[in-house]
Amino acid sequence: MDRLLLQPGRLRSLRSTALTRASWICASCRHNALPRPMHARGYARAYKPNTKSSTVASEEAEQDAQQKEPSKPYYVTTPIFYVNAAPHVGHMYSMVVADVMKRWHALHNRKALLLTGTDEHGMKIQQAAAAHDTNPKQWCDTQAERFKALAAKVNMQNDFFIRTTDEDHKNAVRHFWFLLREKGFIYESKHEGWYCVSDETYYPESMLIRKLDPLTGEVTMASSETGNTVEWVEEKNYHFRMTAFKGALLEFYKANPTWIHPPHRMAEVVDWVENNLEDLSISRPSTRLEWGIRVPDDESQTIYVWVDALINYLTKAGFPDWAPGHEKEGGWPADLHIIGKDILRFHGVYWPALLLAVDLEPPKKLLSHGHWTMNGKKMSKSQGNVINPFHAIDRWGVDVMRFFMVHDGGLNHDADYDNLVIAERYRKLLGGTIGNMLGRTIRSKLWNVRECVGAAPIFATPIHQEKVPKDLQSLLAAQEAAIGEYCEAANLYMGRPDPRTALKSIMNLAFELNKFFTESKPWELAKEILTINNTPDLRQRSDEVLLYKVHVGMIIYTAAETLRHIAILLQPFMPDKAEEMLDLLGVELDKRSFAYLGVGKDFTYGKPLRPVGAGAYDALFPPLPVEN
């Protein structure tokens, strides 16, 4: 399957051979599958699927196991966003990816929960509020509303918006602290070390570099990871015995080698634990850090912001008020934490160690994505290259931005934000491929999509099948194979999770449809029918007309089926445009879940539920305005 996606032209070669492929059935339906319905061409012979690699097989088994856990909702989280500054495109990217994952699993007819929110404690918040001459709570209230507005702007279906200043979260943090203390994993000690206010963490000397200011000549110490300045701090605070979990962490990583995606970030985490693990300072003197949750029974100390922040994922899963036997009903353990690469260590090392300490399961997966750059440079206000996500959505539309962010966003590496690339994706992929094929299929006066879909079971009868030319059989069979292959690929990659490659597999299906339509030329057959019917001397060729009608019907049905699958699969990525597409295809509202993926699963569509329009500006993706 990986090779197939890397070679999107492979299916073209299949058009020269009559293929007999069974339709794809989504993972959630395999266990209760009904007999496969007859479809347009009657390719009902079973086929032996390609041998899968052990990695693919284990991933599919994992996805099936998740689908068999009905009492536990699918639970996906974004990072909770730090409110020291306004939202940017990186925040939007995390939100979009999380929303895509939630919607994907909901379409498997599984309850799915999505958490986002704001991280509102710590030194940076305290300093940001002071710099704006306001108190920290007022500052947090204002900033939290901006993040809520962004979540709404990107059409995010979040079930929860948590703020770490919420009382239920404070109670969860205090209870978690109590558990750590009761189990003997907290001790009090004097701490000396290099502390970074910007990163809210201590760094060992092995991760420091000397930083020279070219203007003043001043030399300071900085983190080799982030480049942010550190300062030497000596203070008395509480520590978590994290070194006691070195063996347990390494054992956990070994038992779960795909726990972090992409794989090279898993290697970073393992290296950190093997070479840099230290006990963790988990409080700060309240004289230095006033804005935060106080240590229970010790008002002189404030709980370290990262211990506070990480527990948010538990808070909205109902912790600590879990009734015995119902611990998983709130979604824990989380199925997926989506995070930026800059906070990988906190989630990949600190978080599982803390959870293991209180006998709770770690999350099932971490998806650690890269950052967004512009012209290859990190976005920053000083360089004037920060993209306002609200303005970007207003300019391009929410679904176009969602598509671009997933299609071009960086999982393995950073991604570059470029308006020219967005315009190219819109014209070539959205308008030129999906929109173009939808318009050519549903707007033509040469055929009726509803009639073609409704007649599809009749096309499958032997009397029609035996009269189909072999070259057309090959084209039809290859296109049906493409539907199955790319639907399966999308499902596999979403399970990894790799929404970028999943989306590209959906686009590959659209490319195959374009080739199929070009090669099958249904308009030529339809025009031949018109010529015969409108020429008195040729009307005796009625049998030929009937045959042409069957062939046109088969082609249009196959094209419509491909578009139906594309639209169903696109719902998590582009919910509004996918809904419009399904409406134009006439797919009923109760037949848009993944249970209806598979050729021949729906013969009721074809009559549009909204006007199909006539010109280019009525299209699913109208032409972009000309900019001066």
Q: Decide if pLDDT at 400 tops 80.
A: yes
Q: Decide if pLDDT at 2 tops 80.
A: no
Convert the pLDDT of each residue in 559-581 to its tens digit.
999 999 999 999 999 999 999 99
62 in a domain, yes or no?
A: no
Q: Are strands 231-240 and 186-196 parallel, antiparallel or unpaired?
A: antiparallel
413 in a domain, yes or no?
A: no
Q: Give the Cα separation of 337 and 195 in Å (integer).
A: 26
Q: Do residues 198 and 219 share a domain?
A: yes
The residue with tokens 């021949």 is 600
Query: 465: which residues sit within 8 A by CB, 6+ positions away?
Result: 41, 42, 459
Q: Do residues 446 and 342 share a domain?
A: no
Q: Do residues 355 and 282 share a domain?
A: yes
- Given this model, what pLDDT does residue 166 score? 97
> Who has greater pLDDT, 67 or 516?
516
Which of 405, 428, 444 is the endpoint of a domain?
405
Number of domains in the chain: 2
Q: Decide if pLDDT at 416 tops 90.
A: yes
Which of 405, 426, 454 is the endpoint of a domain?
405
Could you tell me what percent of the chain has a pLDDT over 70?
A: 86
Alpha helices in 358-498 (DSSP H): 389-396, 398-408, 419-424, 436-442, 449-454, 456-459, 462-465, 470-495
Q: Do residues 354 and 441 share a domain?
A: no
Q: Give the Cα separation of 170 and 84 in Å (integer).
A: 20
Is the bond preceding 320 in cis, omega lying within 30 degrees of 0? yes
Q: Do residues 392 and 535 share a domain?
A: no
330 in a domain, yes or no?
A: yes
Q: What is the CATH number of the domain that holds 385?
A: 3.40.50.620
Is the bond preceding 262 in cis, omega lying within 30 degrees of 0? yes
Q: Decide if pLDDT at 387 tops 70.
A: yes
Q: Give the Cα separation of 384 and 264 in Å (integer).
A: 32
Contact criterion met (CB below 8 Å) for 600 and 620: no
Q: Is 338 helix (H, G, I), strand (E, B) or coil?
A: strand
Q: Do residues 37 and 125 share a domain?
A: no
Q: Give the Cα separation of 200 and 191 in Å (integer).
A: 15
DSSP-derived secondary structure for 245-300: GHHHHHHHHHH-TTSEESHHHHHHHHHHHHHH--PEE-EEETTT--SSPEETTEEE
Q: Give the Cα separation of 593 and 361 in Å (integer).
A: 31
Domain extent, residue 109, equals 69-405
Q: Is 443 helix (H, G, I), strand (E, B) or coil?
A: coil
Averaged pLDDT for residues 195-210: 76
Q: Is 229 helix (H, G, I), strand (E, B) or coil?
A: strand
The one-letter amino acid at 586? G
Q: Do residues 339 and 451 share a domain?
A: no
- Given this model, what pLDDT does residue 93 score? 97
Q: Do residues 393 and 422 share a domain?
A: no
Q: Give the Cα separation of 612 and 619 in Å (integer).
A: 8
Q: Do residues 204 and 174 share a domain?
A: yes
624 in a domain, yes or no?
A: no
- Given this model, what pLDDT does residue 17 score? 37
Which of 405, 427, 452 is the endpoint of a domain?
405
Q: Give the Cα separation of 370 and 209 in Å (integer).
A: 23
Q: Decide if pLDDT at 144 tops 80.
A: yes
Q: Decide if pLDDT at 13 tops 50.
A: no
Instruction: Please give the DSSP secondary-structure letter assigned to residue 445.
Output: S
Contact criterion met (CB below 8 Å) for 604 and 448: no
627 in a domain, yes or no?
A: no
Q: Do residues 293 and 259 share a domain?
A: yes
Averaged pLDDT for residues 14-39: 36
Convert the pLDDT of each residue in 255-313 to its tens digit.
999 999 999 999 999 999 999 999 999 999 999 889 999 999 999 999 999 999 999 99
Copy the structure tokens of residue 322. 């879990």
Q: What does the buried/exposed string (b/e) look like for 505-517 if buried means 16 or more CB atoms within 10 Å of the residue's CB?
A: bbbbbbbbbbbbb
63 in a domain, yes or no?
A: no
Nearest Cα neighbor of 351 from 541, 58, 79, 64 is 79
**How far is CA 290 from each of CA 54, 83, 125, 164, 186, rounded to the nearest angstrom?**
52, 17, 11, 15, 21
pLDDT band at 463 (very low <50, low <70, confident <90, very high): confident
Q: What is the CATH number of the domain that holds 435?
A: 1.10.730.10
Lowest mean pLDDT among 13-22, 76-85, 350-359, 427-436: 13-22
Could you give the dihedral angle defined by the CA atoms of residues 262, 267, 270 and 276, in that order, rounded to the nearest 10 degrees? -110
Q: Which helix (H) or strand (E) holds 114?
A: strand 112-119
Q: Do residues 269 and 298 share a domain?
A: yes
437 in a domain, yes or no?
A: yes
Contact criterion met (CB below 8 Å) for 333 and 362: yes
Identity of the highest mean pLDDT range in 39-53, 337-351, 382-396 = 337-351
Convert the pLDDT of each residue in 100-124 to its tens digit.
999 999 999 999 999 999 999 988 8
Q: How many CA atoms lie within 13 A of 577 on its CB side?
A: 24
Averaged pLDDT for residues 178-190: 95
- Cβ neighbours of 250 (radius 10 Å): 14
Nearest Cα neighbor of 403 from 591, 154, 109 is 154
pTM: 0.86
> Who has greater pLDDT, 585 or 533?
585
Q: Decide if pLDDT at 54 tops 60.
A: no
Q: Give the Cα separation of 598 and 40 in Å (integer).
A: 12
626 in a domain, yes or no?
A: no
Convert the pLDDT of each residue in 330-365 to its tens digit.
999 999 999 999 999 999 999 999 999 999 999 999
Q: Do residues 270 and 371 share a domain?
A: yes
Convert the pLDDT of each residue in 225-257 to its tens digit.
777 887 877 788 999 999 999 999 999 999 999
E strands present in 149-204: 160-163, 186-196, 201-203
- Given this model, what pLDDT does residue 228 score? 80
